[in-house]
Amino acid sequence: MFGPPGAGKGTYASMLASRLRIAQISTGDIIREEIKRNTDLGKKIVDFVNKGELVPDDIVVEIVREETNKISGKNGFILDGYPRTIEQAKALDCIEKIDAIIQLGVPEQVIIARLSSRRICMKCGAVYNIRYLKPRKEGVCDACGRDLYQREDDRPEVVRERLKVYEAQTRPLISYYRDKAEFINIECNSVDIPPETIIRRILHELQEKDLIE
Ligand SMILES: [Zn+2]
């Protein structure tokens, strides 16, 4: 599943995975989990993450290989947040065949509106949105009463930069997969479309392309 930061990839991927009874492989979640559990792998990657650098391709490929090994022989899987580079896509080709690319098209102003109004509790990490999911008292967490803050990389100017990076990374990948996989384009032109509607559209497209029953 491809989509810009703030498009809701993680949410949709997990809804689709449970609906289709397939596995969800989110490399970002796995990386955070390995670091939290301080595993051998976690120790290897923590420095890259702390410095804000990308985790090297060979390590991420290894993570994906292990995850797909765990589920081989089952119904399949959905990847979100991977591959990000042509090198990763080529490595993935040696592991598994990808049937379909689901691309979430979300206009820049929608992403900026969604991310720039996001607020996070400094203590418990609860996520709010000052437009769509307001706390009961402005600037204060409902759950624990602590202050809410805006993540540095959710500020409009930083979001614009993240979107540029995403565009530059993704465009070559889309051409890479052009002849290798089915394409499903889902346009999300408004922040108010319920996730359930998006999922219905994706399932419909998968059926049309005979990828699911
Ligand atoms: Zn809180």
State residue 146's pLDDT score: 96
In tens, the pLDDT along 31-45 reads 888 888 999 989 988
Mean pLDDT of 17-24: 92
Mean pLDDT of 158-169: 87
Q: Comparing C-alpha atoms, which of 37, 21, 173, 162 is closest to residue 98? A: 173
Cis before residue 83, ω within 30 degrees of 0?
yes
Q: Is 119 a catalytic residue?
A: no
Domains present along the chain, CATH in parentheses = 9-208 (3.40.50.300)
Q: Is 151 a catalytic residue?
A: yes
Question: Which among 65, 155, 162, 201 is annotated as catalytic?
Answer: 162
Q: Is 162 a catalytic residue?
A: yes
Q: Which amino acid is at 84?
A: R
Mean pLDDT of 54-63: 86
The strand ranges marked E within 92-166 are: 100-105, 118-121, 127-129, 148-149
What's the pTM value of the predicted model, to 2 decimals?
0.79
Distance, CA 153 to ligand 1 centroid (Å)? 20
Q: Which residue has the higher pLDDT, 208 or 56?
A: 208
State residue 114's pLDDT score: 84
